[in-house]
Chains A and B, each alone.
Chain A
């Protein structure tokens, strides 16, 4: 069974630009969650999508958005990039959501904002 894949693996952008990251979940998984990982703030939950609907959301500004397609693939968008958005962005898929469902993480996309 193929794992969670994320593309691209590395990105370099400048302040003010926008970026789109992609996540392909494990086949059969309907939930995709996104997380931001930084040395200072650690791992933080961004949002979760299930059946093309954003079901849960963490405490991030509206510049961070996402969507999920009918095949469960998900994209995350960050607009008007700031230096502080430099981070490893991880997505995770699970059968049905957060809670007690095991989250399978992808390798992440390393975003650097200059």
Chain B
């Protein structure tokens, strides 16, 4: 059962553009929503995370928007750079479970 749906599967953006990745979850028990960035040959690394009592969180060029009623959240990467080219995973967790989206392969063209 896929509890976290992520789209798009792949994304190509020009340098300086905005990258947007969307996720939707089913289980309302989830109370923590992190985004991970993974480069080839490396493990995922936490990028930014949000709790459901907040509608938006910004850290540098990265912003999470959260819509609790729609059970959706998204990652926005402003001023995308070639170094941002990686696979991005959204996740949803509770104290006893962690579910990931299928991942989005982002390519930022120079």
**A residues neighboring B (CB under 8 Å):** 4, 33, 42-45, 55-56, 58, 90, 92, 97-100, 102-108
Contacts and interface: CB of A to CB of B under 8 A. Distances in A.
Given A43-B44, A90-B44, A107-B42, A99 B95 contact: yes
B51 A107 contact: no
Given A98-B94, A107-B43, A45 B99 contact: yes
A108 to B, nearest CB: 6
Nearest to B91: A43
**Interface range, B side:** 20 to 34
Interface in B28-81: 31-32, 34, 36, 41-46, 49, 51
Contacts of B32: 99-100
A53 to B, nearest CB: 13
Contacts of B41: 107
A78 B32 CA distance: 30
A42 B101 contact: yes
Interface of B: 31-32, 34, 36, 41-46, 49, 51, 89, 91, 93-103
Contacts, number: 56
Q: What are the nearest 5 A-B pairs in CB distance?
A: A105-B43, A43-B100, A99-B95, A100-B32, A56-B96
Nearest to B38: A105
Contacts of A103: 34, 46, 98
A33 B93 CA distance: 13
Max chain B C-beta neighbours (<10 A), residue from A42, A44, A56: A42
Nearest to B103: A42
Contact of A99 (B36, B94, B100): B94
A103 B103 CA distance: 17
Contacts of A102: 34, 46, 49
Contacts of B97: 45, 56, 58, 98
A104 B41 CA distance: 15
Contacts of A43: 44, 89, 91, 100, 103
B43 A92 contact: yes
